[in-house]
Structures are given as structure tokens and as C-alpha cells.
Amino acid sequence: MRFDIISVLPDLLDSPFAHSILQRAQKKGIAEIMVHNLRDYSTNKQKSVDDYPYGGGSGMVMSIPPFARCIEALQAEREYDEVIFMSPDGVTFNQTIANELSGKGNVIILCGHYKGIDQRIRDLFVTREISIGDYVLSGGELPAAVLVDAIVRLIPGVLNDETSALSDSFQGELLDAPVYTRPADWNGHKVPDVLLSGHELKINEWRHEQALLRTQQRRPDLLED
Ligand code: SAH
């Protein structure tokens, strides 16, 4: 899967993709993540990418030409399945959307800033608008990193143990069960006996019970669905 992220602050995206599972996915050649500096597609001397809003009001608006140039240059090289705009008024991201997107091939992601991007970019180029939650961040870079992380770990071959992703919260209707590691006894606080029993069936039963309990207590809405 290939991601082309268009951003005015590409440096912000250096670190999230340079470690751990995301780094491994790229080394294995399973995911390719390219970050494009929007300013490189600005044609004026100041390399500006924004302008005052028509109608007045506070905040700058990101203008069409740099985005259009960058998107068109990418689309001239390959077919894209989606052009996603990260936006607080988009569809709220969840595991179902992550699963769906993990089956795609090439995806462009636009990161907004300031007051947002000219509505015509959204009307003409964007196929999908995604929010990472009901709060407003200063830019689309962190949301893009959240999106790419959640998607990439679902692509077959990325996680060493595929079954791990399947038992994660939201992958089914249940939250994940509690997990423990050594020491078995820490200052009198013990790991549940069943986990030390070596009895696989009983352990699976216990985990399922715990996952159910946790879901009932914390997210009963998931069980209603
Ligand atoms: N005026 C806009 C917010 C702009 S915030 C509004 O009220 O809807 C600047 C940029 O940050 C946005 O264009 C978007 O790309 C990004 N952003 C902020 N919060 C986000 C969120 N919750 N999910 C996804 N992107 C977000």
C-alpha cells in the first residue's frame, strides 16, 4: 500500500513513520509512505500556500493551486483509490474504516492548517473526509499519522503475529482482555492463576469472559450494535 501525504509541515511526519511497526512495514516493502512539501508546489516567490478568506473573518485559508498541482502531479504517475482530507467535520475514524482502507492500493492524504482548505479542493479532488475525533487540532499531520498507523498495522504481513491484531479492541465487538507479564507476583499483587495454568482452553475462556466484562463495563454501546 502506498500513502502520499501532502503537508505544509513535512518534518512533523518524520518521526511517526521512522520507528517500530511502521518502520518495519516500510523496510519489508509492504507499505510505502511518501511525504510531499506543499510549499514545493507553490509558484509565488514567498512560497505561500494560504490567503485571506473571502468574506472576511479570522484565520487564513489554504489555497487551491499548490494542492491542485501536487495532486495532479501524483495522479499523473499512478492511479489513486482515494484522496482523503483530514478534517474535524469528516466521518469519525474507527477500526471498521481502518480495516476497509487497509485493502486499498494507493491513497493521497491532504493535511489542512489554519482555518482549513478552500472548499473547492474538497469538492473537486477529495473522495473522502475523515476526522480522528470531536476536537480540533492545529493541523492535519497528527491525524494523518494516526490514520496511517491504524491502517498499516492491519495489512497482512506487517505484524509478526497476525492473531494479535484480531484480538485487539474494536476488531470484533469486544474490547481486548487485560494482559500481564513477569513477575507473577509483584509485592503481593498476583497474576490471575488461570494464566499460569498452561491450560489453553481455560485461558481462552477467561480472556473471553474478561473481554466481555470489560466491554459491558466500559463500552456497553459496542454490545448493543
Ligand atoms: N476550521 C476548521 C478547523 C481547522 S483546524 C473547523 O472548524 O472544522 C486545521 C486543520 O487541522 C484542518 O483543516 C484539518 O486538516 C486538521 N484537523 C484538525 N482537527 C482534526 C480532527 N479532529 N481530525 C482530522 N483533522 C483535523
What is the Å distance from ligand 1's center to 93 Cα? 13
Q: Which three cell numbers stand for residue 66?
A: 499548490
* pTM for the full predicted model: 0.96
Spans of the chain below 70 pLDDT: 225
pLDDT in tens, 71-80: 999 999 999 9
Residues with CB under 6 A from ligand 1: 86-89, 111-113, 115-116, 131-133, 135-137, 139-140, 143
Q: What is the pLDDT of residue 161?
A: 83
Calpha distance 169→53 (Å, rounded)? 42
Q: What is the topology classification, in CATH, of domain 167-224?
A: Trp Operon Repressor; Chain A (1.10.1270)
Q: What is the topology classification, in CATH, of domain 2-152?
A: Alpha/beta knot (3.40.1280)
Where in the chain are all domains bearing CATH 3.40.1280.10? 2-152
Q: What is the pLDDT of residue 111?
A: 98
Where in the chain are all domains bearing CATH 1.10.1270.20? 167-224
Q: What is the pLDDT of residue 9?
A: 98
Backbone Cα Rg of the chain:
22
pLDDT in tens, 99-137: 999 999 999 999 999 999 999 999 999 999 999 999 999
What is the Å distance from ligand 1's center to 27 Cα? 31
What is the Å distance from ligand 1's center to 224 Cα? 30
Q: What is the pLDDT of residue 147?
A: 98
